[in-house]
Structure 1
Amino acid sequence: MNKKIKIINITILLLSMFMFFNGKAVLASSYNLNTNSISYFDFKNGEFTRPNPTGFLNWVNSQVITKHNPHHNGYDEVYTSGEPQIVEGNFMYGDLRVKLKNEWVSIYEYSLDCKSPVWTNIGRAKTDSNGHIKYNIPDNMKLSVGTHLIKLYVEGDGTEADMYLQILDGAKKYVVFDMDGTLTTSDFEDVKQYAGEFFNSSYKAEMYPDANNVVKYYASKGYGILYLTARPYWLSEESQSWLCVENFPMGLVHTSSGGDLVLGEAAATFKANYLNSLKSKGIEFDYGFGNAGTDVEAYSSVGIPKNNIFTIGKNRGINGSVPIVSYTDYLKQLTGN
């Protein structure tokens, strides 16, 4: 995407600016899952020994692009134990997300399921003309079953992105949460936050009260958490950062792969395709949370029954889903408090 198109897309984004349970919903507390401690986003920076920056290969990168704030994105992925394991990321700077081209990125791994984990360098890759890397982990370094933290370290200036790889060897239960208008109070909270960055203000996307505590509840029951959003790929880092700041449990974050916000039926198709790809790998989705008919459509496509699909906001209860008036009340229903 060239700079003119990028500016046009950003402008469009900126301008775009139980009823609670009637006895039908099956609550998570009725599942016989072990109660686990809750894991939060922790990128293990205190245990990471940072190599000294090497400087950039390209003068423009060194003197122009990297004078701006970094906005790097790593892309969370799920693989079965027999699949190729691929690490992908994009590296950009500044409000216009200018791409870092033809520079080296070191790739480190930290197992979250190992008793004595250490950071391990598993390779390096050079960004292409789109600021993108795609690194196929060699067979002799393939990651074990479990969850792995991946750090993408830009060798030139020591900036980084963090992401997760989940390696499966069987079924795993998940709950899926849409973000915009579901965890945030409107569909355009993230756009407003990005606009604030663009115009040097400090707006932060507003969270529905107790949205994070509802997610914590499901995480405490042993469910994996998926944050699924139709935001463009270049907002992956911002999405992850917002979840960290608002104290949400650790989970996989998945955005669209395109540069534009995906809307309407295209959003339903995007979400359904991704959810079904995960289902084919062994992930079972028991519950889904959204705010639109497209969410209900996508969640239904992977077999989540309507009484386990919850919607909030002005469209709550749409298409036979269970309406949520407030997460605070819903949490009381879950916990019995």
Structure 2
Amino acid sequence: VEVRGGSSTSLVLNPGRFDFEVSDCFLLGCPLGLVLAMRRTVLPAVQVSQLRPACSQIFNLFYPSDPSASRLEPLLQPLFHKLPPFAVPRYQRYPLGDGRSVLIADSIQGHPSVFLEGDQSHGQQAEMKTEGGGGGGRKASVTSVESEISICSMSRLGDTIANISSSWWGSKRLDYALYCPDVLTAFPTVALPHLFHASYWESTDVIAFVLQQLMRCDCVKTQEVDNLDSASFSPSSPREKWLRRRTHVKLRNVTANHRVNDVIATEDGLQMLVGRFMYGPLDMVTLTGEKVDILVMTQPQSGRWVYFDTEVTNSSGRVTYTIPKSKKLGLGVYPVKMVVKGDQTNAEAYLTVLPRGMECVVFSIDGSFAASVSIMGSDPKVRPGAVDVVRHWQDLGFLIIYITGRPDMQKQRVVSWLSQHNFPHGMIFFSEGLVHDPLRQKTIFLRNLIQECHIKINSAYGSMKDISVYNMLGLSSSQIYIVGRPSKKYQNQCQFLSEGYAAHLSTLQFGHRARPKKSTSVRMVLRKGSFGLSAKPDFLCKRTHLRRTMSVQQPDPPCTPNPKPERAQSQPESDKDHSGGGGGGGGGWHWARAFNHIMSS
């Protein structure tokens, strides 16, 4: 903070500057207000309004129950003690914000009675003057005086805004209050500052608010410029009433388990999106006869969702939408989102538009990746080196296809598992509901992809159960890779990876050195990188830290008396890192876990 040039004092020294200009400064539970208030009591000659931060805008975020936080606005303008701090919208209810303006001018205009205290006496004097006149001209006199008062008030309000803005630390509000549950009053006061400090870095409300300010992009205004339907995106009305009265009763105490199918299509073919909207872990409740918005990110680099249409779910909770010719998408990978208008729950997927003859590599998730059987378990083991093999094929420009015989009700669980183990991005396909012959469903689905989307399967990975599937698709034995011990029955039908993925990766790298990569035009179609964590990892995260996969190419860990076997290298880390050095830290850890649970609810 530096003293303004026009100030008569130089008590505040400028310790230095950054080599770059600071635009926005976010304070999280910072006691800056207490420091400035104490300085004012010690040095009355220094006014806070004379200070100017070396940045364009300051955001003072705090929890109302935080004993170490304080407000800044009343120090700059005493009248702001009558205004509450700006309430940061809850991300769970308003992911795009609640539509309220954070500009200081709008806040002053919204509370004219606070900043124009002298208007009441002025109005009383004018009214007394009108009462002294004749009765016939009273009505016209009152009307003219009221208009004069209104014009005068607006003029004075404009002057007030100009005066306050001249010494304000930016163009927006400074104090922002975060949601704080009342149950926190039961926590010890001594423990609150530490818990609040940790919660700032885990709060989705804070992250969403910071991103909204940094992007400097009002969602509604941007859509109006692009001639989009801004009403469907308005953050001020996040929910609509259910079309059916029974819906809100059916959805009590159940969580959403929606899913949208990943789609592969050609540029000149049919581009159809299919989603199903269910509630409960086993699809106990079906969302019937309710509105669902369909959004597509037509320009993924911009990160902006484009509204396409609104559909109503059928009796089985499904929504089927065919993209019209006027909105057909070109070559590329496009995120798709379907949002339930009644409660704003959503499901995401990807629409991939490919050229004819696109080469791909197929991976059976349970057969090629999972090293342990887990039908409804929290986290099956992953085979060491599996992630590196998939990434190798992705780097060569092949489309990655993940396929599984699991029902689509487990999509969020499976995508979370792939995401947490850092698997490269690809298209994921499930069986539609519970089927008695999942291998037959795999065969039919892959055959339809080959015939309708004109893709070419270069290689396929899986278990011995998948050999019959790949053989029926016409793949040769050199294109089929099976993980596990060799079997004489199938030794002429596939390539067994008996030495694991590490040796197989070395063989692939050696064999593909002389093979040129796919053309740039085809590679630009594919989405690089790994699965994002937007796949609701709560399905698997029963511990605080995400489970990580150890790559076989990472340096070896230091020797320990009990080294882990190779197949256990990808297992999640234990909770020993969280328990602290001794027994004394256990109490604080339990407090922190309880606090995080409360703040996320």
TM above 0.5, yes or no, is: yes
* 2:487 matches 1:301: no
Cα gap change, 1:310 to 1:317, in 2 (>3 Å): farther
Amino acid corresponding to residue 225 of structure 1 in structure 2: I
The CA distance in 1 between the partners of 2:404 and 2:296, in whole Å, is 25
The CA distance in 1 between the partners of 2:271 and 2:343, in whole Å, is 27
Larger radius of gyration: 2
* 2:399 matches 1:224: yes
Equivalent position of 1:147 in the other structure: 333
Cα gap change, 1:317 to 1:214, in 2 (>3 Å): farther
Equivalent position of 1:207 in the other structure: 382
Equivalent position of 2:280 in the other structure: 94
The CA distance in 2 between the partners of 1:129 and 1:171, in whole Å, is 38
The CA distance in 1 between the partners of 2:278 and 2:430, in whole Å, is 16
The CA distance in 2 between the partners of 1:296 and 1:161, in whole Å, is 33
Shift of 1:173: 0.8
SS in 1 for 2:368: coil
Shift of 1:317: 7.6
SS in 1 for 2:380: coil
Cα gap change, 1:105 to 1:211, in 2 (>3 Å): same
Cα RMSD (Å): 2.5
Equivalent position of 1:110 in the other structure: 297
The CA distance in 1 between the partners of 2:486 and 2:247, in whole Å, is 46
Shift of 1:275: 1.4
Cα gap change, 1:84 to 1:168, in 2 (>3 Å): same
Equivalent position of 1:76 in the other structure: 262
Cα shift readout 1:115-167 (whole Å, capped 9, x = no counterpart): 65632111121111111111122221122222211011111111111111122
Equivalent position of 1:163 in the other structure: 349
The CA distance in 2 between the partners of 1:318 and 1:53, in whole Å, is 59
Comparing 79-88 with 171-180, greater Cα deviation is found at 79-88
Among 288, 312, 316, which residue is 2:483 paired with? 312
* 2:273 matches 1:273: no
Equivalent position of 1:10 in the other structure: none
Among 285, 290, 295, which residue is 2:462 paired with? 290
The CA distance in 2 between the partners of 1:163 and 1:275, in whole Å, is 19
Comparing 66-75 with 313-322, greater Cα deviation is found at 313-322
* 2:416 matches 1:241: yes
Amino acid corresponding to residue 228 of structure 1 in structure 2: I
The CA distance in 2 between the partners of 1:77 and 1:316, in whole Å, is 36
Work out whether residues 311 and 317 of structure 1, in 8 Å CA contact, stay in contact via their aligned partners in 2: no
Shift of 1:222: 0.6
Equivalent position of 1:176 in the other structure: 362
Work out whether residues 168 and 282 of structure 1, in 8 Å CA contact, stay in contact via their aligned partners in 2: no
Shift of 1:102: 1.3
Cα shift readout 1:77-100 (whole Å, capped 9, x = no counterpart): 222222222110111111231211
Cα gap change, 1:316 to 1:120, in 2 (>3 Å): farther
* 2:322 matches 1:136: yes
Shift of 1:290: 0.5
* 2:379 matches 1:192: no
SS in 1 for 2:292: strand
Cα gap change, 1:227 to 1:318, in 2 (>3 Å): farther
The CA distance in 1 between the partners of 2:417 and 2:505, in whole Å, is 22
Shift of 1:331: 2.4
More strand by share: 1
Shift of 1:71: 0.9
Cα shift readout 1:270-307 (whole Å, capped 9, x = no counterpart): 222211211122211000000023x1222233332211
Work out whether residues 85 and 142 of structure 1, in 8 Å CA contact, stay in contact via their aligned partners in 2: yes
The CA distance in 1 between the partners of 2:330 and 2:341, in whole Å, is 26
Among 246, 250, 253, which residue is 2:428 paired with? 253
Cα shift readout 1:175-233 (whole Å, capped 9, x = no counterpart): 000011321124x42x132xxxxxxxxx2222112222211111111110001111112
Cα gap change, 1:66 to 1:224, in 2 (>3 Å): farther
The CA distance in 1 between the partners of 2:489 and 2:422, in whole Å, is 29
The CA distance in 2 between the partners of 1:317 and 1:116, in whole Å, is 53
The CA distance in 2 between the partners of 1:140 and 1:118, in whole Å, is 19
Among 500, 505, 508, which residue is 1:334 paired with? 508
Q: Identity percentage over the alignment?
A: 27
Work out whether residues 282 and 409 of structure 2, in 8 Å CA contact, stay in contact via their aligned partners in 1: no
Work out whether residues 292 and 315 of structure 1, in 8 Å CA contact, stay in contact via their aligned partners in 2: no
Equivalent position of 2:172 in the other structure: none
Shift of 1:315: 6.4
Equivalent position of 1:27 in the other structure: none
Shift of 1:66: 5.1
Shift of 1:75: 0.5
Amino acid corresponding to residue 268 of structure 1 in structure 2: L
Cα gap change, 1:206 to 1:58, in 2 (>3 Å): farther
The CA distance in 2 between the partners of 1:311 and 1:292, in whole Å, is 6
Equivalent position of 1:53 in the other structure: 239
The CA distance in 2 between the partners of 1:88 and 1:96, in whole Å, is 19
State the structure with bigger RCO (CA 8 A, min sep 6), 1 or 2.
1
Work out whether residues 233 and 256 of structure 1, in 8 Å CA contact, stay in contact via their aligned partners in 2: yes
Cα gap change, 1:318 to 1:88, in 2 (>3 Å): farther
Cα gap change, 1:146 to 1:317, in 2 (>3 Å): farther
Shift of 1:110: 1.3
Work out whether residues 174 and 226 of structure 1, in 8 Å CA contact, stay in contact via their aligned partners in 2: yes
Cα gap change, 1:314 to 1:56, in 2 (>3 Å): farther
Work out whether residues 298 and 306 of structure 2, in 8 Å CA contact, stay in contact via their aligned partners in 1: no
Equivalent position of 2:202 in the other structure: none
Work out whether residues 108 and 120 of structure 1, in 8 Å CA contact, stay in contact via their aligned partners in 2: yes
Cα gap change, 1:318 to 1:251, in 2 (>3 Å): farther
Amino acid corresponding to residue 401 of structure 2 in structure 1: L
* 2:508 matches 1:321: no
